[in-house]
């Protein structure tokens, strides 16, 4: 990658920038993914992932960017957040769907 080429969030496709970013383990660390594949994402995208899915779901069903983006709620989120500035951040609330799985 060229020096001046911006890094892009694989979830929302916005430029990552230098603030409000974090590393997401595609397989949760608590489920054996401590040394597995990671991606750099906006904090808001990272929080959305963890607000929607349980650790078990992330390990079994949503362990790639492609699989994460198949979920209807993630698609709605991406469509919404794509219009925001790359440094935009607000916390996400745990969904009722995830709460019911606990």
Angle, alpha carbons 52-57-63 (nearest 5°): 95
**Residues 51/11, Cβ–Cβ less than 8 Å:** no
**Domain-by-domain residue ranges, the chain?**
21-101
Give residues with Cβ within 8 angstroms of 21, minimum separation 6.
9, 40, 41, 42, 43
**Residues 85/94, Cβ–Cβ less than 8 Å:** no
Task: Supply the pLDDT for residue 59.
Answer: 96
Task: Supply the pLDDT for residue 66.
Answer: 98
Give the residue among 39, 50, 51, 38 at the shortest CA–CA distance from 8: 39
CA distances from 78 to 3, 4, 31, 40, 73 (A): 27, 25, 26, 16, 9
Q: List beta partners, residue 24.
A: 39
Task: Supply the pLDDT for residue 1.
Answer: 43
Q: pLDDT tens digits for the chain (102 residues)?
A: 445 557 999 999 999 988 889 999 999 999 999 999 999 999 999 999 999 999 999 999 999 999 999 999 999 999 999 998 888 877 766 655 555 665
Q: Is-above-0.85 flag for pTM?
A: no
């Amino acid at each position: 990658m060229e020096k001046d080429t911006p890094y892009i969030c694989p979830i929302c496709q916005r430029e990552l920038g230098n603030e409000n970013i974090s590393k997401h383990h595609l397989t949760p660390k608590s489920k054996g993914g401590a040394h597995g594949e990671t991606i750099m994402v906006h904090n808001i995208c990272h929080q959305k992932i963890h607000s929607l899915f349980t650790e078990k779901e992330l390990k079994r069903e949503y362990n790639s960017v492609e699989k994460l983006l198949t979920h209807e709620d993630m698609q709605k989120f991406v469509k919404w957040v794509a219009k925001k500035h790359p440094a935009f951040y607000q916390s996400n609330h745990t969904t009722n769907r995830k709460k019911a799985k606990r």
